[in-house]
Copies of this chain bind each other. A is one copy, B any other.
Amino acid sequence: MADPDVERAEKAAAGVGGVTVHADPVAALDAPGVAAVLIASPGPAHEEALLAAFARGLPVLCEKPMVPDSTGALRVVEAEARLGRRLAQIGFMRRYDAEYRRLKALLDGGALGRPLMLHCTHRNVSSPGDFTSAMLINSSVSHEIDAARWLLGQELTAVTVLRPTPSSGAPEGLLDPQFVLFETAGGALVDVEVFVNSGFGYQVRCEAVCERGSARIGDEHTMVVTSAGSAREEVAQDYLVRFADAYDRELQAWADATRRGEVTGPSAWDGYAASVVAEAGVRSLETCDREAVELAPRPDLYAR
The answer on a CB contact under 8 Å between B290 and A253 is: no
Q: Which of B65, B167, B277 makes the CB contact (< 8 A) with A274?
A: B65
Quick one: which of A142-188 are within 8 Å of B by CB? 142, 145-146, 149-150, 153, 155-165, 167-169, 175, 177-182, 186-188
Q: Which of B168, B263, B296 makes the CB contact (< 8 A) with A113?
A: B168
Interface centre among A35, A161, A220, A235 (most CB of B within 10 A): A235
Please give me the residue from chain B that is nearest to A192 by CB atom: B281
Q: Which one, A4-12, A23-31, A69-77, is touching chain B? A: A69-77
Closest 7 CB pairs of A and B: A66-B271, A221-B221, A165-B187, A201-B235, A81-B299, A138-B278, A97-B246
> Would you give the shortest CB distance from A144 to chain B, in whole angstroms?
10
Query: With a CB–CB cut-off of 8 A, which chain B residues contact A119?
Result: 119, 193
The answer on a CB contact under 8 Å between B235 and A272 is: no
The answer on a CB contact under 8 Å between B277 and A182 is: yes
Q: Which size class do A's interface residues fall under?
A: 35 or more
Query: With a CB–CB cut-off of 8 A, which chain B residues contact A269?
Result: 77
Tell me the bound Cα distance from A3 to B167 in angstroms.
52
Tell me the bound Cα distance from A119 to B134 in angstroms.
23
Query: With a CB–CB cut-off of 8 A, which chain B residues contact A92?
Result: 265-266, 270, 274
